[in-house]
Amino acid sequence: MITTSTLWKLPPHTKGKHLVLKNYLNAWFPILGKYNGRILFIDGFAGPGEYRYGEKGSPLIALNTYMKHRARNRMSAEVYFIFIEKDKRRFNHLKSLIDPLIPELPNNCKVEIINGKFDGTMNEIMDLLDDQEKELAPSFVMVDPFGVSETPMEIIERIFRNKKSEVFISFQYDSINRFSKKEEFEPHLNELYGCTEWKNGTEIEDGKDRRTFYYNLYERKLREVGSKKNVIHFDLFKKNRLIYSIFFGTKHIRGSDRMKQAIWKVSPFGDFSFRGVHADQLTLVLENPDLGPLKEAIIQEFMGKGWITIEDIHEFVSSDATDYHSGQYKKVLRGLEKNDKIEIDESTRKIKLSYPNGTKIKIKQDH
């Protein structure tokens, strides 16, 4: 008999996370699968693979995204899926879903399902690689825990040692806020942050300020252990109530940009929407997005720097310095040019209001 502890109803907010995952993997598989000998998708808290009414969980979403990808036959890399689940019943259920699919997998696709804890399993994998003087293959590691345990910053640091590895983390602030003053949870929070600075947050009375402190500290620690990786942070709200947050760490601006595109693409859905963190209360919407904060960010970043190139702007917007992605800044530039706020070196382009590679731009001082 399948119990509710094995399968549960799909929480409405989880849909957004799954849509982001699918959108990002649609870009990730062909990019890394073309230029690497092996790539890994690791789901550290895989669960049973489906929900009570048959909706697919993240392991099946990832596997199906690869199997149905139109560019799959052009990917030369070995694609290795590792699904980690500590609960024996959920592990068995996931295995019952995956095993029938194994004969359908191409020769370059491997799946391993591990009954174990995320932190212990990842340490075993990393220890084995260290013993062999090897490093982790380019990886997308999904960390979506229940609560705050088993996700130590030490593991994230070891994953980040491979410059092509990325981490997608669901961050549950409610759990931290609820347990931060309970002594028995101190070891878990020490491991989560990789330090004891989080304790300073317990003295902050204002709830919003306390949340900001915990988020900023976590983001800072991710940057530190990732050697200045791009760290993307978006919050999911149901109307005005924070549900959870996503942190994404990557060494490459292209990965940062692709993740932001994936998040913008799914928001809003139902009563849920993602919000950025660089511009106050910026809600992500596909139709008529608010590009005002992007305009101000570009002006602030480049005013007084003389001639810059379109590549400079592309890199800035694509990075974790903004909530926006590279498909949005040229509309901002057209508005600035029409209003005589920027100067263009016309020798670097042929068509007015276009910004091909190499275009030189100067932000006017009297904007």
Residues contacting 319, CB < 8 A, separation 6+: 230, 253, 256, 257
Q: What is the band of 3 on the pLDDT scale with cuts at 50, 70, 90? A: low
Higher pLDDT, 1 or 307: 307
Supply the pLDDT for residue 365. Answer: 85
The full DSSP string for 103-172 is: GGS-TTEEEEEEES-HHHHHHHHHHHHHHTT--PPSEEEEE--SSSTT--HHHHHHHHTSTT-EEEEEE-
pTM of the prediction?
A: 0.93
- pLDDT per residue as tens digits for the range 214-253: 999 999 999 999 876 899 999 999 988 888 899 999 999 9
Q: Residue 167 above 60 pLDDT?
A: yes
Other C-beta atoms within 10 Å of 180: how many?
17
Domains of the chain: 14-275 (3.40.50.150), 292-363 (1.10.10)
Supply the pLDDT for residue 270. Answer: 80
For the residues 20-31, what does the mean pLDDT come to? 96
Supply the pLDDT for residue 367. Answer: 45
- pLDDT per residue as tens digits for the range 202-213: 999 999 999 999
Q: Cα dist. 317→168, 299, 305 in Å?
A: 20, 12, 16
How far apart, in whole angstroms, are the C-alpha atoms of residue 53 and residue 8?
Answer: 8
Other C-beta atoms within 10 Å of 143: how many?
22
Supply the pLDDT for residue 150. Answer: 86
Q: Residue 267 above 60 pLDDT?
A: yes
- pLDDT per residue as tens digits for the range 277-327: 887 667 888 778 899 999 999 999 999 999 999 999 999 999 999 999 999
Are 169 and 247 contacting, i.e. CB atoms less than 8 angstroms apart?
A: yes
How many residues in total does the chain contain? 367
Q: Indicate the angle between helix axes 207-225 and 153-160, nearest 10 degrees.
A: 40
**Which of 122, 181, 189 lies closest to 149 in space, CA to CA?**
189
Residues contacting 177, CB < 8 A, separation 6+: 207, 210, 211, 214
- pLDDT per residue as tens digits for the range 86-127: 999 999 999 999 999 999 999 999 999 999 999 999 999 999
Q: What is the band of 12 on the pLDDT scale with cuts at 50, 70, 90? A: confident
Q: Which of 117-131, 169-183, 249-263 has the lowest mean pLDDT?
A: 169-183
Supply the pLDDT for residue 80. Answer: 97
Q: Residue 162 above 90 pLDDT?
A: no
DSSP 56: B
Unique residue bearing structure tokens 């590679």 = 357
How far apart, in whole angstroms, are the C-alpha atoms of residue 316 and residue 300?
Answer: 12
- pLDDT per residue as tens digits for the range 331-359: 999 999 999 999 999 999 999 999 999 99
